[in-house]
Structures are given as C-alpha cells and as structure tokens.
Structure 1
Amino acid sequence: MTDLYRLAMAVLQPGFEGTTAPDWLKKALSDGLGGAVLFARNVSPGTAGLVAELRAENPAVVVAIDEEGGVVTRLEAREGSSFPGNRALGVVDDVALTERVGRQIGRLLAETGITLNYAPSVDVNANPANPVIGIRSFGPTPELVARHSVAYVKGVQAAGVAACAKHFPGHGDTVADSHLELPTVHASLDQLRARDLPPFEAAIRAGVRSVMSAHLLIPALDPKGPATLSRTILTGLLREELGFDGMVVTDAIEMKAVAAMYPPGEIAVRALNAGVDAICAGLVTAEGLYEIRDAIVAAVRDGSLREERLAEAAGRVLALSEWHRAQRSEVEADDGAGLEAARRALTITGEARLTTAPLVVEVNTRHNQAIDPDTPTGLAAALGELLPGTTRVGRLPSELGDQPVVLVIHDAARHPWVRETVAEAVRRRPDVIVVETGIPAEPAGAAYIATNGISKVSAKAAAQWLTR
C-alpha cells in the first residue's frame, strides 16, 4: 500500500452497519482510514467497546457522531435526548446554561471515546418555512446564535471532544432540504455577511476544531455550484478571509443535493479541491469506500488534484485526532442541567392542568432526514409515569369522550393542516391542552405549551408542569 493510497484513505469518514466493526471496516482502518461516523444504528450498550475496537485497528481514527441534543441524537435516539436542543437553549438565553449543557453532551461522548461531535448547528433560522433547521437553530438572529454557539463549543471542547460548527456558510434561509434536493440561498452578499456569517466567525474565534460545509447553492458567493464544492467559499471565504485553519468536513455526500450531480468519487475530489479535509460518507459499502479512495488517487495521478492539497487535508484530520488524544479533561456530572434547561424553555399560555389520565393525541409531522425516525417526542410516556392510564393515539379520534385530551403537534406554523387539526380539536373540546414541540404558532386551547424542541427532558418538563 503506497503512501498515496493511505493519504486518500485518511480523508474518508464512512458510516457502517451494525454494533460491532465489520471486517471490511477493520481492513480499511489498517489501510489508513482516517475516520468513521456513528449513527443510531451503531449504538448499543457496548458502543464504547465498538469505539475501542475501531481504535485498536488505527489509534488515530477520528470517530464522529451527530449528537446535537434535542431532536438530533444518536446515542439516545431510542429514548430521547437527556438535553433539550438548540432552540430551547436560545429561548432560555442563558449562555452559562448552554455551556453546561454542551459540557454534559461532551462528557457523554468522551465517556464513549468519541473524537468529534458534528455539532452545534450555528445556522440562523431566518426563514420560518425552513424544513431542515428550525428547532436545530438557537434562534432567528445572528447575535443570539453567535453567543450560544460559542458557549456550546466551549462546553463540548472542555470535555475533550472536538466540536463542529455547521452548516457553513449558513443553512437557515432555505425552503428546501439538502437531504432531498439542492437548496438555494437567495440572500445578497451584505445579508450573508450581516446575518449568516457572524455565528461562524464567533465559533472560529472561540477555537472550534471543525467546520462542516453545507450542500447549498449561494449565488451571491459562488453561482457555479454547492458550497461543499466551492473553492471560493471554502478556501477564499472560510480559510483566507475568516482565518479558519481547523478541519473542514463535508455534510454527508449521499445527500441528494450533491449526489444527484456527481458520483461519490468525483464529489470527494471536487470537495478536496475546494478546501475540504474530510469526506463524510454516511451510507457506503466496502466497495464504495475503496472506489472513492481510488478516485482520489487517480485525480492526484492525472493532475486534477494536487498531492500537496491531499496531504494538507490528511494532516488536518491527523491534527484533530492528536488534539483529541492530548486532552485530559474530566468533567463532573451535572445531571440536572438538561431538565433545568427544558423547564426554563417552556413557554406557556393558559392555566389548565391534569389531575386524571389523559388521552394523548400525537399528530406530529414527518421530521426531516437528519432526525432518526424512531426518536420519540416522549410526552405520552412522561405523562403515563405521573398519571397511570394515560393512552396515546396517532390521530384525532372521531369521538373524544370525557377523558382529558392533550394534543401534541410539531411546527404548526409551517403546516396549515396541523393548524386545521388544532382548530378542529379546540372546536370539539375547548378544554383541550395543546403541546407544540416545534416552532410555536398562535396559542390555542385551554393551555398552550411550547416545549421549543423534542427531547426526553422537554417531555418530562411539560408533563411535570401539566400535573403540578
């Protein structure tokens, strides 16, 4: 195996199936594979052992995961996160609390041996119709997002885990989901500089170790192609103007925003030429991984990718790994941080409360593809612990009876049909309690509780308030 092949392997971060390392992944690690990405499908009580298994094959491997807190959780996807997400933290607007939450998320990852957290999302949720950011953002203004991005980064990295500011240069002003298509940001250059870039600038000044590129077309910056493949954006803007010298990683290259344009190997080469250091390939086979490697090697040999650029990228991946290995952080448990944040994030209209077991009606919309489909809202379970006999259904029944009714909704502000369901429920049962887990709309019902996100602790906080 030549050095060139090992350099090409060093910049790849594939996902894989199963809760133990497959043989092909072990071989790839011994061939110089520089990273691996964990998803909910890889998580089990033995995840720390899995990470150790990967590191036994390559001690320098960067093990990454997407653990934002709130609705985007991999380690706690089955039961819901122990920490509220970014919007909840932004609503509370206590940077010390955000740093505490970040430190506890970092502690959870450090105990598992993880190198890199693909978080926080530092996107400014400037467009209320955004289908993929929403509650994953700290809020709608750059000042709010910037100060909480800094606090989150400081918290995670204080635990010895690298943070990653995403999705550069800002995914907040889109109406399309890059998992499904290529979104376009139509903002002017002045708008981008005033609104989208300040949180990234703040995170860079705070020492964030990694930045994730976005699969977005931003004509004001580069009309020729997505940011992930744009040298103007990733080298000219991020590196040269903003001064970021850490590791740049792509968003997953199987997302249709880029996958519909080029095959994986070509995406990798174009991204490396643009200034990317690590290629995230969340869905890839052993054959597919080596095809990407070979495409990178071929590009170096035919002169379309400079070997110095590839070596620089591999060096930045190794530098992040060495930073992680040098950390000796020991973070004390702060078990109340998540629930405290969730309680303080509740915004409530009305005074209704529950004294008997309710019927919980969940009419949640389909979440975007960054969210594991089985991640629960948890409200029925949380109420069931306090009021045994609580029942749950997935749609508004034709007959509601006399049992108290709790209607759980998500992002009513974005979905007319959800608002119509709320109106129908209130018409039939004026005493209905409405719990909104997404971006709040106009309050309705005898009580309207906005949790400002989905997590185990957000559900617990709402249940405790309702049964106070």
Structure 2
Amino acid sequence: MTIDPGLRRLALRTLLAAFPGHTAPEWSTDLVEQGLAGYTIFGYNIADPAQVTALSAALRTARPNVLLAIDEEGGDVTRLAHRTGSPYPGNAALGAIGDLDLTRRVYHSIGVELARAGLNLNLAPTVDVNTATDNPVIGTRSFGADPMKVAAHAAAAVVGLQQAGVAACAKHFPGHGATVADSHLELPTVDVSAQVLRERELPPFAAVVAADAKAIMTAHIRVPALTGDDPATFSRAILVDLLRGEFGFTGAVVTDALEMKGASVAAGGIGPAAIRALQAGSDLLCVGADVDLALVEQLAATIAAAISSGELSLARVEEAAARCDALANWTMGATQQEPAPRLGYEAARRAIIVEGSLAGFEKPFVVQLRASHTIAEGVVPWGLSPHLNGTPQLAVAADQTSAEALIDAAHGRPIVLVGRHTHRNPAARTLVEQLAAAHPVAVVEMGWPASWRPHGAKAFVTTYGASHANGRAAAELLGLAH
C-alpha cells in the first residue's frame, strides 16, 4: 500500500514513540527529522545524568523542539533515579504534609533536573483521588483521598514544574483513583453516578486546567455514566464535551500508553486504538514502551489510511498535530535553573508519622518483607538497606519464613519490620501479627497507608512512600542511618 507522504508526516506529528538502549538509533533521529512528535524516555534508556543529557542532545540535533517525555513523579515512580530510588518523596507524602508551597518547590526541583537533562514533558503529576485503599496502580502516587486537598496540591505541582520550563501532563483523566484493577492489564470500571464523579474525581482536573497545565493524560478506564462501554481515551463526551467544552482546556490531550490492555484490547489492537483516540479528541498518542521502527511506521500508515478512507477527519488530525506542535514550542522557553538536592530528603522527614513508641529499638534487627511492584513503578530499590549503619538485616518473603525463624535470627534484638502495602498480603499480615504477639516489633509501612494495625506492635511508622528519600527518613528516625 502506497502512503501519501504528507499524510504520513501528519500522522507522525501525533505520535510519542520509544526506542531501546542508551543511545538513539539512527531510525529514531530520522523519524524526528520527518516530523515525529517525540519520544518517551524510560528507565532502560537511562544510565546516568551525563548519558541522558547526551541522549536528549542527540535527538535535538534532529529537531530542537522534539518532545522528550518522561514519567518522573518522584516517590515510587521514577525514571531518572530508577537505579537508586527517587531523592524526592511522592505525592502521598506531600499530601500528608499539607504544605502547598513545599509541593510546588519539590515539583519545581524535579522540573529543573529534567530541564537540565534536556527533557521537556513530564508525564506528571498524578492527580487521581485515591479513594480505593487497595488501588493496585495509584496508591502512593496520589496526594490523598480528599478531592479538595488533591486539587490544591495538583495545581501547586503543575505550577512548580512549569516554572522550571517543563510542561506538566496531569493524569489520569477523568480519575483512576477509585479502581481496584490495573489498566495496564485490563479495562477497569468506575461505576458511579455523574454527580459522584463531579464531586470526587473531577475537582483536581478542574484545578490543573485553571493552573494552565499544558497537557492532560487520559485514563484507559470505563466510566459508564459518561463513557458508556468505552474507555475514557475513546470518549468524545469525556475529552471534548467535558474537558474542553466545560472545563475550558486548550492544551494537548495525551493518551496513556496505547499498548496497555485497557486500550489495545478494547479497540482490537494498537492501530485501531490510535484511530479511536484521535476520533475522540486525543492529540498526542503515547504508543508505549515496547516500540520499534516497524510499529511506528505501522501506526503512521494506519492513521494515514484512515484519513484517506474518510474514517478519520483530516481536520481532526491537523488539529491534533497543531496542538502537539504548540506544546513542543512552549517548552523552548526553558532557562537553566538550580535544583534543590536536599529538599526531597527534608520533605520525606516531615511526612513520617509514628504511632506508639520506638523506645527500646535503638539496636534492632531489620527485616524487609519482599513486595511486588506495579508496571508503572518498575523494579526500583526500596527500603532501609541503602541507609543502614551496619545494623543486621534480612530480606525475606513472608510466605517463606516464620515468626519463630525471625525471632531466632534476631538473637535477642527487637525487630523492625519493613513492608510495602503489608495489609494486602495475607501471609505478611499473619506473619507480622504472630511476630508482634511474641516479640518486640516496630512496623515501618512504606506503601499506601491502610487502617490495619497489627495487635501487639510497639510502634507503627508510616512513610507514605518507598523512595530513596522515604527510606532515608525512616532510617534516620530510627537512629540507624550511616
């Protein structure tokens, strides 16, 4: 099939692709020269600050205003610091502190680091209201469960990022916080009335529009009251009538990754998902992480063919491409600023809450319970281990040990048990409760806080996240930091 070169270039202007490795393949720079909107930079593209700065510079030689996006939320979702953990606490910690200027300053510092690395679009902040305690994909990425608090911090985060010259992309519209399913793996449903949505999910998005967020990301979730059977990414009622018509948003609508099951399965493939997203009012199509030249060319050809056949309006795609161009051009105004490297560690210390007493835990045995990670988080180091001053420690899966074995390993020392979403794991809950009934135990919870507290524990410490900064704060609190 012959593709019209003009339509191919137009289609490319709506695509946010990806590539493997620490250097840009030749095809990736060729596509930028041919009009590709840009790339998402993932952890697998990053080795160290000098390398990622060189990578972005190489891509900018192909076109200075290429969009280089990244998921740099701070807290549990980091790409720049995926090898060590983020030096910033995430949204849950910032929401718990409740200092709006601190939130602005943290996000400004994140933005400064991104700008210095040559990255200009942050796929953050997450502004979902986390009302589902067991939400498997949002959790500590949220500022909290109160819509007004989340709205205020969301606006502060957007202002901070954009003061650094980095475009903010607030996510996931119209709200992923009430789900108990992960849209990477399936199509979640939020089956509540339009009134509940307006009172609970939507206030943060109204706030980020008012704060002049340059981009907003769609959610691959089904909201029957507004979207019918479709995910929000494919809904004009959500993206045009509500977001643009009612909220007055004029920036770029960015899709969540189209390779995610919540979009690709619902549409019957990534190509059909791209068509449906554009038809619904999306502007910048995030293809995903598993991308090569063949997939980009396939998507460009699919979009071009849909325009040629009349399935997709030429004017709609031109509108989308123009918004992507405007977003890229806005980012060209960034100036070099100085980051605040200690800010995140200071903030993490302010977030910690201690229930009970840590008296007697001066020389403990530290046990870290292994925990899973989400696709959004990826494999990132967490816990107290990087910060300990020689304190004896053990990492173990809850279902592969026993209270008796841990007590024996402690050799008379009290036990500090470090976990992440501990309440969600039945084996972990049982282990902690048995341990607390027989031995002095303090629990450090580094996931989303729940109401569960193990009976008999001497102390329960909540960090509101598992970043490098959160781990350091907990180790310092316990007097165990080197």
Say yes or no: TM over 0.5. yes
Preserved CA contact (<8 Å) 1:349 1:448: yes
User: SS of 1:276's equivalent?
Assistant: coil
Q: Hey, what's the Cα distance between the residues in 1 that align with 2:106 and 2:471?
A: 17
Matched residue, 1:453: 465
Say if 2:426 is the partner of 1:416: yes
Matching residue within 274, 281, 303 for 1:268: 274
Q: Deviations over 1:332-379 (max 9, x none)?
A: 3323321121011101012225433x4332224312110112x11131
Say if 2:316 is the partner of 1:303: no
Say if 2:27 is the partner of 1:24: yes
Q: Hey, what's the Cα distance between the residues in 2 that align with 1:424 and 1:56?
A: 60
Say if 2:279 is the partner of 1:279: no
Tell me which amino acid in the other structure corresponds to 1:280: C
Say if 2:410 is the partner of 1:392: no
Q: Deviations over 1:380-417 (max 9, x none)?
A: 2212xxx2243332234523332342211112343333
Identity of aligned residues (%): 44
Query: How far did 1:206 drift?
Result: 0.4
Matched residue, 1:318: 325
Preserved CA contact (<8 Å) 2:170 2:217: yes
Preserved CA contact (<8 Å) 2:366 2:391: no
Residues 360 and 15 (structure 1), Cα distance of their counterparts in 2 relative to 1, 3 Å cut: farther
Query: How far did 1:279 drift?
Result: 0.8
Preserved CA contact (<8 Å) 1:276 1:313: yes
Tell me which amino acid in the other structure corresponds to 1:12: L
Matched residue, 1:7: 10
Q: Deviations over 1:232-271 (max 9, x none)?
A: 1111111111111101111011111122232111111110
Matched residue, 1:53: 58
Q: Hey, what's the Cα distance between the residues in 1 that align with 2:46 and 2:126?
A: 22
Matching residue within 129, 133, 140 for 2:138: 133
User: SS of 1:64's equivalent?
Assistant: strand
Q: Hey, what's the Cα distance between the residues in 2 that align with 1:394 and 1:16?
A: 35
Tell me which amino acid in the other structure corresponds to 2:425: H
User: SS of 1:293's equivalent?
Assistant: helix
Q: Hey, what's the Cα distance between the residues in 2 that align with 1:143 and 1:288?
A: 41
Query: How far did 1:81 drift?
Result: 0.3
Say if 2:258 is the partner of 1:253: yes
Preserved CA contact (<8 Å) 1:64 1:117: yes
Preserved CA contact (<8 Å) 2:43 2:82: yes
User: SS of 2:225's equivalent?
Assistant: coil
Residues 360 and 16 (structure 1), Cα distance of their counterparts in 2 relative to 1, 3 Å cut: farther
User: SS of 1:309's equivalent?
Assistant: helix
Q: Which moved more, 1:392-401 or 1:72-81?
A: 392-401
Tell me which amino acid in the other structure corresponds to 2:395: V
Question: Aligned runs of 1:68-107 on 2, under 5 Å?
Answer: 68-107=73-112
Matched residue, 2:417: 407
User: SS of 2:278's equivalent?
Assistant: helix
Matched residue, 1:160: 165
Q: Hey, what's the Cα distance between the residues in 1 that align with 2:342 and 2:32?
A: 39
Preserved CA contact (<8 Å) 2:191 2:223: yes
Matching residue within 347, 354, 357 for 2:353: 347
Preserved CA contact (<8 Å) 2:190 2:221: yes
Q: Hey, what's the Cα distance between the residues in 1 that align with 2:453 and 2:351?
A: 16
Q: Deviations over 1:307-338 (max 9, x none)?
A: 1111111111110111000233x433323321
Q: Which moved more, 1:198-207 or 1:228-237?
A: 228-237
Aligned residues: 461
Query: How far did 1:298 drift?
Result: 0.2
Say if 2:42 is the partner of 1:42: no
Q: Deviations over 1:211-230 (max 9, x none)?
A: 00000010000213110011
Q: Hey, what's the Cα distance between the residues in 2 that align with 1:327 and 1:78?
A: 27
Query: How far did 1:60 drift?
Result: 2.2
Preserved CA contact (<8 Å) 2:370 2:395: no
User: SS of 2:240's equivalent?
Assistant: helix
Preserved CA contact (<8 Å) 1:123 1:166: yes
Tell me which amino acid in the other structure corresponds to 2:377: I
Q: Which moved more, 1:169-178 or 1:55-64?
A: 55-64
Q: Hey, what's the Cα distance between the residues in 2 that align with 1:213 and 1:421?
A: 40
Query: How far did 1:24 drift?
Result: 2.1
Preserved CA contact (<8 Å) 1:413 1:439: no
Q: Hey, what's the Cα distance between the residues in 1 that align with 2:259 and 2:369?
A: 30
Matching residue within 428, 431, 437 for 1:427: 437
Matched residue, 2:300: 293
Q: Hey, what's the Cα distance between the residues in 2 that align with 1:115 and 1:155?
A: 14
Matched residue, 1:124: 129
Ranges in structure 2 where 5+ consecutive residues have no aligned partner: none
Q: Hey, what's the Cα distance between the residues in 2 that align with 1:99 and 1:113?
A: 21
Query: How far did 1:427 drift?
Result: 2.3
Q: Which moved more, 1:265-274 or 1:344-353?
A: 344-353
Preserved CA contact (<8 Å) 2:110 2:339: no
Query: How far did 1:58 drift?
Result: 2.1
Preserved CA contact (<8 Å) 1:214 1:250: yes
Q: Deviations over 1:284-305 (max 9, x none)?
A: 2211110000000000000011
Q: Deviations over 1:120-176 (max 9, x none)?
A: 010001111211111110000100100000111111111000001100000011111
Tell me which amino acid in the other structure corresponds to 1:326: G
Preserved CA contact (<8 Å) 2:278 2:317: yes
User: SS of 2:167's equivalent?
Assistant: coil
Q: Deviations over 1:153-206 (max 9, x none)?
A: 111111000001100000011111001100000111000011111100000000
Q: Hey, what's the Cα distance between the residues in 2 that align with 1:141 and 1:450?
A: 18
Preserved CA contact (<8 Å) 2:368 2:383: no
Query: How far did 1:28 drift?
Result: 1.5
Matched residue, 2:448: 439
Q: Superposition RMSD on alpha carbons, in Å?
A: 1.5
Tell me which amino acid in the other structure corresponds to 1:22: P
Preserved CA contact (<8 Å) 2:113 2:339: no
